[in-house]
Amino acid sequence: MPLVTTTEMFKKAYAGGYAIGAFNVNNMEIVQGITEAAKEVNAPLILQVSKGARAYANHTYLVKLVEAAVIECPNIPIALHLDHGPDFETCKSCIDGGFTSVMIDASSKPFAENIEITKKVVEYAHDHGVVVEAELGTLAGIEDDVKVSAEDSSYTRPEEVQEFVEKTGCDSLAIAIGTSHGAYKFKPGTKPQLRFDVLEEVEKRLPNFPIVLHGSSSVPQEFVEMINANGGNMPGAIGVPEDQLRKAASMAVCKINIDSDLRLAMTGTVRQFFAQHPDKFDPREYLKPARAAIKEMVKHKLINVLGCDGKA
Ligand code: G3H
Ligand code: 13P
Ligand code: ZN
């Protein structure tokens, strides 16, 4: 089947109490690791591309890699999504350039301005059969060139969500309930805890509406240890507990964004490979175990964390 939008997958995910995995792609091995996992598990998939990914790999290469995955996985629905679209022009370029879904992230702007920009993107996207994710609330962490400190982050205000969705016409909404971007989400020694009360309030005000969680890597300690044991230095890297993601997926959350875990799996495996084989220099040899590690990690996420039912 051709690339799809997220409309049908979100409907099924909402009804089924699971979430669709949205994984960031930057190169061929990442695309292959993710899609081979989803194919085996029979899970629908969102492959997402950031502004940084487009700058690194080039729009056309990424679209063609994803189109190759669609050919290789004819039985699972795959959406191609722009992650954290910073402005109308970037969203337009992706809508015109083969994406089926875009995010406009104007969450750092005042409420009225966020509505105005989001509405403009929604109008253009819907005219072209593309769906739109928007964001209310601010996550901590680094995304592209924007760094938000924990002090400057803010939870989504449930009393704003209805007006925002009605006025913009967006198709899904990313909210801030305590997740954050990157590998350092919680201070060591503190108890990681998402604000399920905020999610519940949002759900009440937007019944049956798909909610998105960014910053949802769980930072598997096996990979952090693998990195640190092989020349890396990532002390205190902590992610979102998987049981809390599972709970969110059983509620209104239909899309869970994972990028850092892919990077950790790849980096840990490559570091270990070089520590064990200092004489090797063939990229195929060190990228092969990295791709396999991504595949295993994604399979685990799809089944045990997102709760995919295998009925893609
Ligand atoms: O939320 C941000 C994603 O992890 C993408 O990261 O901007 O470094 O590609 P990036
Ligand atoms: P992580 O950094 O937790 O993987 O979040 C990724 C993300 O939200 C991409 O938009
Ligand atoms: Zn994000």
Residue 101 has pLDDT above 80, yes or no: yes
Name residue, tokens 């928007």: 134
- Tell me which ligand sits closest to the C-alpha of residue 56: 1
User: What is the amino acid identity at position 84?
Assistant: H
How far is the C-alpha of 219 from the C-alpha of 235, rounded, in Å? Answer: 12
Q: Is the CB of 180 under 6 A from ligand 2?
A: no
The arithmetic mean of pLDDT across residues 5-13, rounded, is: 98
Q: Is 171 a catalytic residue?
A: no
Residues with CB under 5 A from ligand 3 (ion): 214
219 Cα–ligand 2 center, Å: 11
CB atoms within 10 A of CB 101: 27
Tokens (6 digits) for 192 = 């990681």
Q: Is 139 exposed, middle or buried (0-12, 13-18, 19+ CB in 10 A)?
A: buried
The arithmetic mean of pLDDT across residues 61-80, rounded, is: 98
Angle of helix 260-276 relative to helix 28-41, nearest 10 degrees?
110
- Residue 292: its pLDDT value, please? 99
Distances in Å between the Cα of 129 and the Cα atoms of 4, 11, 99, 171 are: 10, 17, 10, 12
Would you call 170 helix, strand, or coil by DSSP? coil
How far is the C-alpha of 29 from the C-alpha of 52, rounded, in Å? Answer: 17
Name residue, tokens 């990914």: 53
CA triple 249-260-18, angle to 5 deg: 15
- Tell me which ligand sits closest to the C-alpha of residue 301: 2
3-state percent helix, strand, coil for the chain, nearest multiple of 5: 50, 15, 35
- Residue 31: its pLDDT value, please? 99
- Residue 147: its pLDDT value, please? 73
Q: What is the DSSP letter of 237?
A: -
- By most ligand atoms within 8 Å of CB, the mutation choice from 142, 177, 179, 217 for ligand 2 is 217
The answer to whether the beta carbons of residues 119 and 168 sit under 8 Å apart is yes
Taking CA atoms only, the protein residue closest to ligand 1 atom 4 is: 259
Taking CA atoms only, the protein residue closest to ligand 1 atom 2 is: 143
Name residue, tokens 């190759």: 68
- pLDDT tens digits, one per residue of 222-247: 999 999 999 999 999 999 999 999 99
The answer to whether the beta carbons of residues 102 and 121 sit under 8 Å apart is yes
- Residue 159: its pLDDT value, please? 97
Across all residues in the chain, what is the average pLDDT?
96
The answer to whether the beta carbons of residues 257 and 213 sit under 8 Å apart is yes
- By most ligand atoms within 8 Å of CB, the mutation choice from 84, 234, 257 for ligand 2 is 257
Q: Is the CB of 83 under 6 A from ligand 2?
A: yes
The arithmetic mean of pLDDT across residues 40-51, rounded, is: 98
Taking the whole predicted model, whether its pTM rises above 0.85 is answered as yes
CA triple 133-139-143, angle to 5 deg: 75
The answer to whether the beta carbons of residues 230 and 273 sit under 8 Å apart is no
Distances in Å between the Cα of 249 and the Cα atoms of 26, 187, 196, 235 are: 25, 24, 11, 29
Per-residue b or e along 217-230, where b marks 16 or more CB atoms closer than 10 Å to that residue's CB: bbbbeebbebbbeb
- Residue 149: its pLDDT value, please? 74
303 Cα–ligand 2 center, Å: 19
Q: Which ligand 2 atom is at minimum distance from the Cα of 217? A: 3
Q: Is the CB of 259 under 6 A from ligand 2?
A: yes
How far is the C-alpha of 127 from the C-alpha of 137, rounded, in Å? Answer: 27
- pLDDT tens digits, one per residue of 150-204: 766 799 999 999 999 999 999 999 999 999 999 999 999 999 999 999 999 999 9
Say which range, 106-115, 133-142, 292-301, has the weakest mean pLDDT: 133-142
- Ligand 1 pocket by Cβ (under 6 Å): 24, 50, 52-53, 83-84, 143-144, 181, 259
How far is the C-alpha of 198 from the C-alpha of 203, rounded, in Å? Answer: 9
Would you call 85 helix, strand, or coil by DSSP? strand
- Tell me which ligand sits closest to the C-alpha of residue 81: 2
Share of the chain above pLDDT 90, in %: 94
Taking CA atoms only, the protein residue closest to ligand 2 atom 9 is: 257
How far is the C-alpha of 15 from the C-alpha of 251, rounded, in Å? Answer: 10
Q: Is the CB of 85 under 6 A from ligand 2?
A: no
